[in-house]
Amino acid sequence: MAGRKPKPTKLKILQGNPGKRKIPPNEPKPATKMPKCPPHLDKMARKEWRRFSPTLARLGLITEVDGSAFAAYCDQFSRWIQINHDLKNQMEDLQAERENLITAGDPESLKRLARLPASAILVHDYTIDENGIEHLKISQNPLVVMARQTLQQIRAFCTEFGMTPSSRGRIQVNPAEDESAEEAFLKVVK
């Protein structure tokens, strides 16, 4: 079915149900217990899992059936970090190559230096056609494209879990829900 996908009921409730639409009475309500971190996640993804899962569990935004979606978010985050790391390494390699060619200073090195891209964001591809004419094709580094696509997927997952500034700005949490059982007990005792 086309159209906007429905907002999770828990997010509607936390946002104060701004549209005043009826809350579905028969919606499945899985337990708001934190699922276990899947073993297939790499080190960075597990770190991201540990970083956000307690907060999402405390706010009731993750349930026992949301583990796969949250694991996918963590996996995408790890991939994005790796892509940016690879892009940084390419930039450092390019800078080192530029410095070596400048140091060499011979005409062939300077000609090669002129063909290098200014940064690793662009890729230069020189070809020579059958007439001996040189052609330069400048394109975006595939890592930049991958980083953008991965970031779009991360943003979609973050919106699902109320982790973006705009989705978080619409959430209203009762202060009583935020305090632990111990804090509530101490208030009563005082």
What proportions of the chain, in percent to the nearest 5, are helix, strand and coil?
55, 5, 35
Given a contact cutoff of 8 angstroms between Cβ atoms, the answer to whether 49 and 71 are in contact is yes
Task: For the chain, give every domain's residue range.
Answer: 41-115+142-170
Residue type, 170: R
CA–CA separation, 34 and 66 (whole Å) = 9
pLDDT, residue 189, reads: 47
Q: Which residues of the chain have pLDDT under 50?
A: 176, 189-190
pLDDT, residue 5, reads: 65
pLDDT, residue 2, reads: 62
Model pTM greater than 0.85?
A: no
Estimate to the nearest angstrom the gap between the alpha carbon of 17 and the chain centroid.
27
Q: Considering only CA atoms, which of 103, 148, 99, 102 is closest in space to residue 121?
A: 148
